[in-house]
Each structure stands twice: as C-alpha cells, then as structure tokens.
Structure 1
C-alpha cells in the first residue's frame, strides 16, 4: 500500500492539515430498506470544518463517531496499540517503517494520518468509513463489513441505513453533490502545486516533490505553507 508523503522518509512537517477530505460513516443495518422508500427520506449532507492542527483526520473521525472533535490523542493511542499488538500484520513492509518506530510516530500530534489509520479506526468502531477527496471527488471506502443493528439516533446524523444495492439511497448523491460543490470552490490543498517555505533556510518550494527533494538534500523537514 502506498503511503502519503507525510508518512514516508524523510518525514515532512507541513504545519497544516489537508482539509480536502469529507467523511461519511455508514452503519450497516440488517433491516432491508427499499430504494423507493429511501428516496422519500428528507435530509441534507453538510461539511463540518475541523481545525487544521495536523490531527484533523482523527478529530473528524471522532466527531462523526462520538460527536467529539477532540479525540485525536485517544484515537492515536488506539491505532498505536492495534499496530503493536500484531507486528506480523503491521510489518515494516506494510507500514513503511518498523512497527515500533511507527507506534512512536503515530503518537506524535504533528503527524498526519492516512489510509492505514482510517482502516484501523473503521475496524475499531465497527463502521464503514467513506472518505471523499474534494479535489478529485474520489471516494475511498474503509472497513466494509456485514450488516448489523443498532444505529444511534443523533441530531447531526452521521449514520445511515445501507440498501441492498450497497448505497445509502438519496444521501449518496447528496454527499457527492457536496463534494463537487467543494471542489468547485477549491476547498482542498493541492499538494502537487501548493507553495511551501522551509522553516530552516526560508527557501520557497512548490509541491510535495520539491519539498522532498529539498529535505533529502538538506535534511530540513519543517515546512510551512504560504500563499
């Protein structure tokens, strides 16, 4: 599995979380719901902004699961414990770094999460997570599982019944429309073309590629985005 830049060597500290992901959490219900009934359901999909503090992925998951935007520290510990408990599954080849090193790395609040962390959290909560990338409108699924009962009823709904066709009916298109709207507004960080400044020597670079090249050449790994 390919790892994002911020999980590779050398580690790059961008000092800003990527706000380009929208999460949809599915709770899989064993009670069948017809497509026609689902289409009659009223509701809307909204984007909740999570502070860009390098732990936004964890706090976003904490919000949709527990309505708590300050779960990052706890969820990082969950991930570290899960990885440490199974060094065979979570090998260096899988993680991109030795198991013990990864566990220390993920506990650092300055480090970002990605596909591996979302997969672990989906299993931890027993939920299916759909992460939308606003820039491309791509939807990545984590934690696909068998149907189960017990969806909670919350005011800000983050849990939906899954139909027999594996969609959530009308909400599916609402979510995609929201992603496309955010894409038009460019509500994402274009990591290929954003401008960064080295926090050590103040040299400006463009995109992840130049940042990695600069880090490899100088050993400087502290970057800040600027407009």
Structure 2
C-alpha cells in the first residue's frame, strides 16, 4: 500500500459522527440529516430489538431524539450504520488507543475508519502524500482473511498513538465544562448530563 494515513477534520456541529461516516463511506461530509433518518427508520422498524432497555428511551422517544440535529451519536448509531452500508466501521479512541469495531460479527468484506477524541469524531483516510487534496483519499479498505486491513491498521494506530501523546483528546470523566445558559461549572460527563436533565440546558463549553 502506498500513501499515509491522515485525519480528515469534520466540523463540530453535534453531527460529527454522521458526517464522518458520510465522508468515509461516500466522500460526503453533509450526510447527517439523511443518516439520522436512516437510523430512526431502522429503530422504528424493529421495536423488539430496539427496546427501551436497549435504547434507554422508548422506541418512539429515541426516534424523535436522534432526528434532532443537536443530539450526538455513539455506539448504537455506528452499529446501525455499519449494517446500513454493509461495511465494518472501526472507531479509534485517542485516550485509550482502543479500536471498537462495528459490524465485525457480520463479516463484511470492507472497512472504514474513524477517530474519536472523547467528544468528537473525525474521519481517517489514506492519501498519496502529505497535503494531497481529499478527493484523492482512499477511505474504504478490504478486510483480509485474518480480519485485519493489513498494514493500514498499524499506520492508523500510529496516528492514534501520536494524537494520544499530544493529549489531543477530552477526558470526559474529568473535563471541566461551563453551562452556556447559566454559566455554572460542572466536572465530567456525568455532572453535565445531570445538569442538562435538571435544567434542560444542553449548551456546554469546555474550559480549562
């Protein structure tokens, strides 16, 4: 394989997961609204699988929630999108260097890669040289007999480790946030969620 693994930055607008998937699957960073619809339709079509116990919301509440452009996606949405596109999605976590693989039990022949910093998803791609434009990016990789994507996997992990060394991730257990509505400070994801549930405020900014 020729080329280098690069991180393609996706805008931070609460839809980064969907737009990152859109980019690696279709070279399109504007797929969020469409992919939210796909997820809502998938969940609504199978209330047994997507039960309240699984979703932590009723099926109906979840479908309304995921269609809201302010709401973030995570593991449930990635597993549905892997199935929708018929490709594995590898999500690399910068803080732990862990790779979560969605769709692997279905043994899809191809894989795409994302990188996650605790709050935000970007896309991973292979480009021919440093600085090459995005239209030359390769984002879909063949899964080999050993269920890896060969040398690309090592290159992707090196990029993730480099990001970890630079501490370019958000420790969601301990990060400090300020509520943009009432300016109260909270520590960690748990307190932020509790504050949001108590007040309905969802506009948080990280501050050091």
With the length of structure 2 as denominator, give the TM-score of the two structures: 0.82
Map 1:1-227; keep pairs closer than 5 Å. 41-144=1-104, 145-146=106-107, 148=109, 155-215=136-196, 218-222=198-202, 223-227=204-208
Give aligned pairs, total. 182
> Which shifted more, 159-168 or 123-132?
159-168
CA deviation digits over 1:6-63, x for unaligned, max 9? xxxxxxxxxxxxxxxxxxxxxxxxxxxxxxxxxxx22221111101100000000000
CA contact (8 A) 1:122 1:129 kept: yes
CA contact (8 A) 1:62 1:69 kept: yes
CA deviation digits over 1:173-226, x for unaligned, max 9? 00100100111112222212222112332111221233234445x424322222
With the length of structure 1 as denominator, give the TM-score of the two structures: 0.75
Taking structure 1 as reference, are residues 172 and 220 closer, same or farther at Cα in structure 2, changes over 3 Å only? same
SS of corresponding position for 2:4: coil
Q: Which runs of 5+ in 1 are unaligned?
A: 1-40
CA deviation digits over 1:60-83, x for unaligned, max 9? 000000100010000000000010
User: In 2, Cα distance between the equivalents of 1:102 and 1:209?
Assistant: 20
User: In 2, Cα distance between the equivalents of 1:134 and 1:196?
Assistant: 20
Structure possessing the higher relative contact order (Cα contacts under 8 Å, 6 or more residues apart): 1
Between Structure 1 and Structure 2, whose CA radius of gyration is higher?
1
User: In 2, Cα distance between the equivalents of 1:101 and 1:214?
Assistant: 20
User: In 2, Cα distance between the equivalents of 1:93 and 1:48?
Assistant: 35
Deviation at 1:147, TM superposition (A): 5.2
- After TM superposition, the runs of 4+ consecutive aligned structure 1 residues lying more than 6 A away are none
Taking structure 1 as reference, are residues 157 and 43 closer, same or farther at Cα in structure 2, changes over 3 Å only? same
SS of corresponding position for 1:79: helix
> Which shifted more, 191-200 or 95-104?
191-200
User: In 1, Cα distance between the equivalents of 2:194 and 2:108?
Assistant: 46
Q: Aligned-pair RMSD on alpha carbons?
A: 1.7
Higher strand share: 2
